Amino acid sequence: MKERINYSTDTPWEPVVGYSRAVRVGPFVWVAGTTATGPDGRIVAPGDAAGQTRQILENVRAALERAGAKLTHVVRSRMYVRDVKDWEAVGRVHGEYFGSIRPAATMVEVSGLVDPDMLVEIEVDACVTD
């Protein structure tokens, strides 16, 4: 078996809940559900699903890079939205980041996220092939 490497963002919740921001085994990288938190831990763009999606995908990009991957390596994304009416705003920003990559993608409406100000959560899977 290939070595497993866990990547943390040193948030206080990771050890309490028992998760890593990203995990890499061989060429595969999984990025945990990611929300629109800024460096100070506060929600970025409250009330703005597109703005939150942009922050989330920047956070995802950073997690991938820590694990030696890039957005171009993403093969699957899952988008969780609090209100399906936001699908187009979220989808358009997802398209800005992944339009030419075109990973397999899913978007579902959920009844809530950890913080009521969170409108979107995204997780991705990547395979480093270069």
pLDDT in tens, 51-66: 999 999 999 999 999 9
Boundaries of domain holding 94: 4-127
Amino acid 1: pLDDT: 58
Does an H or E element contain 63, and which? helix 49-66
CATH of the domain at 11: 3.30.1330.40
Average pLDDT over every residue of 93-108 = 98
pLDDT in tens, 6-38: 999 888 888 889 999 999 999 999 999 999 999
Q: How many domains does the chain have?
A: 1
Q: pLDDT class for 41, splitting at 50, 70, 90?
A: confident
Instruction: With CA atoms as reference, report the closest residue to 56 among 73, 77, 76, 72.
Output: 77
b/e 23-49 (16+ beta carbons within 10 angstroms → b): bbeeebbbbbebbbbeeeeebbbeebb
pTM: 0.95
